[in-house]
Amino acid sequence: MADVSKILKGINKLPALPASAGRIITMMSDKHVDLGEIADIVRLDEALSIAVLHYGNSVHYGRPGREFDLRECLVRLGGDMMMKIVLQQQVGTLMERGGEAFGLRRGALWRGALGGAFAADHLGKRHSGSDSELCFLCGMLRDIGKLALDMHYGAEYVDRVAKHLEPSMTFTEAERSAFGTDHAEVGAELALRWQLPSRIADAIRFHHDPPAHEPEHDALFDIVHAADILCLWAGLAIGQDGLQYKLVPHVRKSLGLSRRDAEVEIAMLWSKVQEVEESMDMTTNERAA
Amino acid sequence: MPATPARTIKTATDGKIVIGVGDLAVSNEPSTHLITYALGSCIGVTIYDPVAKVGGMLHFMLPSSKTNEEKAKNQPAMFANTGVPLLFKGTYDLGAKKERLVVCAAGGAEVLADDGHFKVGSRNRTILRKLFWKNDILVIGEDTGGSISRTLKLCMADGTVSVSTKGKEQVLWPT
């Protein structure tokens, strides 16, 4: 019980957030895109360059019949898209092997991060006044707490939580019952240690339980929560925790989310995830859900 | 009904064929088993003809292709109404007979505290029942609902269908 300090101490053993990802996150938070700096990050990284070439020459961005080089791809894709590609690759490196503490198959934590990023991005674009880039970022990072729990407990974590889990209980409630904290809180603490802005840390903290009322209410938290639920429905990143999470009642109304909207999003998510995995030379079906 | 895509017959790796989300496969290779992991609100369907020793598995995500007609053309196994007919046709092409088929299903879980508006898992279960009822097909073994994650496996040697949840396995068929 109340093992929080031990868990947080274990966080120090985590690999650091890659410096280039930290720089991109700062650009996103400050709304200041430096395409020259992004280009420098890409040129120094072979895997990133390959991903940029893939996107720049995909049918979505390029004209058929002509192949664009790296410089042309950087210009064609633009700053916002480039930031997303760098994040996908850098955060992917961090999360690709994660998820053991929740009984996830290899690659599933990363796939869930990507799905959350795309779902939050779409929801952010639909919701007036929301910053879709920030939504993308928070959707991607929402489960970083699971990385810390991997390093501290490994597969033992889910087994210990399972002993406290009742059918009507959410998995986060069972985590708190077993350990005095949960993966959302641990993730928020990790984000603060990575010196990410406090609003991002709070989006991670509240991704299973966004506050309904002012002054704590924030549409960003609602969006990240809805993105997380959409990923569960899409079968992305389902571990031994299953679907034992609640859909917070105020979120559907605050986002104006209909059943049809949700199903369209679910159908879209796998396509987007597969596209990224192909660009990063990861095979989806080999490690399928 | 769309034509059966060639990709429904797949090659096994290490004796197993992994069915991804929105995917299906059929087989007549007795040394193989078909498996799909982490079924949440999605549903896994297995069919098996014990005489022809032909079977198949579908992992569909959503009830109806009306959600995205374009997507359904490229990936029909994503939806129940387009995936289920393909699964059956795929096994018929390998010699299975409808009257001998053993049909099982697993998945269709729900998140907690859905206020009844979305009910993705429940809608998946409902359309599957309707499809089978319309086509006079009986589901022999079923493990659906709740909020748990499931792994579904079909052994092609004898048609044994099993579901694993949190490390515990139960056999759906033979009963």
On whether the CB atoms of residues B69 and B87 are closer than 8 A, the answer is no
Phi, psi of B38 (to 5 degrees): 50, 55
Burial pattern A63-94, b for ≥16 Cβ within 10 A else e, equals eeeeebebeebbebbebebbbbbbbbbbbbeb
Amino acid at position A182, single letter: D
Q: Is residue B135 part of a domain?
A: yes
Q: Is residue B50 part of a domain?
A: yes
Question: Which domain does B103 fall in, by range?
Answer: 6-173
Across the interface, do B148 and A235 touch by the CB < 8 Å criterion?
no
Nearest to B21 among A240, A243, A288 (CB): A288
Per-residue pLDDT, A80 = 81
Return the residue matching tokens 């059966």. Answer: B4
Can you tell me the mean pLDDT for B103-110? 97
Q: Is residue B75 part of a domain?
A: yes
Rounded Cα gap, residues A282 and A151, in angstroms: 23
Across the interface, do B18 and A286 touch by the CB < 8 Å criterion?
yes
Q: Which residues of B are catalytic?
A: 42
Rounded Cα gap, residues B35 and A59, in angstroms: 33
Q: Is residue B169 part of a domain?
A: yes
Beta-carbon neighbour count of residue B80 at 10 Å? 26
Rounded Cα gap, residues B120 and B131, in angstroms: 17
Q: Is residue B97 part of a domain?
A: yes
Nearest residue to A31 via CA among A117, A141, A131: A131
**Min distance A226 CA to chain B CA atoms (Å):** 12
Length of chain B: 175
**For chain B, how many structural domains are there in total?**
1
Asked if the model's pLDDT at residue A101 lies above 50, the reply is yes
**Min distance B84 CA to chain A CA atoms (Å):** 17
**Type and span of the H or E element at A151:** helix A145-153
Per-residue pLDDT, A287 = 39
A187 touches chain B (CB under 8 A): no
Chain B positions in Cβ-Cβ contact with residue A264 (cut-off 8 Å): 67-68
Summarised one tens digit per residue, pLDDT across range A67-81 is 788 888 888 888 888
Across the interface, do A288 and B112 touch by the CB < 8 Å criterion?
no
Domains for chain A: give ranges and CATH numbers: 4-15+96-287 (1.10.3210.10)
Per-residue pLDDT, A176 = 95
Q: Is residue B1 part of a domain?
A: no
pLDDT band per the 50, 70, 90 thresholds, residue B115: confident
Per-residue pLDDT, A29 = 73
Across the interface, do B120 and A263 touch by the CB < 8 Å criterion?
yes
Instruction: Tell me what the pLDDT averaged over chain A comes to.
Output: 85
Nearest to A243 among B22, B110, B166 (CB): B110
Interface test with A, best of B117, B143, B151 (most A CBs within 10 A): B117
In chain B, what percentage of residues exceed pLDDT 70? Answer: 95
Residue A14, classified by CB atoms within 10 Å of its CB into exposed (0-12), middle (13-18) or buried (19+), is middle
Per-residue pLDDT, B80 = 98
Chain A positions in Cβ-Cβ contact with residue B146 (cut-off 8 Å): 167, 242
* Cis peptide leading into residue B5 (ω within 30°): no
Whole-number Cα distances in Å, B150 to A196, A241, B109, B165: 36, 11, 9, 5
Q: Is residue B128 part of a domain?
A: yes
Domain CATH for B14: 3.30.1330.200
Q: Is residue B64 part of a domain?
A: yes
Chain B positions in Cβ-Cβ contact with residue A259 (cut-off 8 Å): 117-118
Nearest to A267 among B37, B62, B121 (CB): B62
Across the interface, do B61 and A234 touch by the CB < 8 Å criterion?
yes
Nearest to A235 among B21, B147, B166 (CB): B21
Phi, psi of B56 (to 5 degrees): -160, 165
Residue B60 C-alpha from the chain's centroid: 7
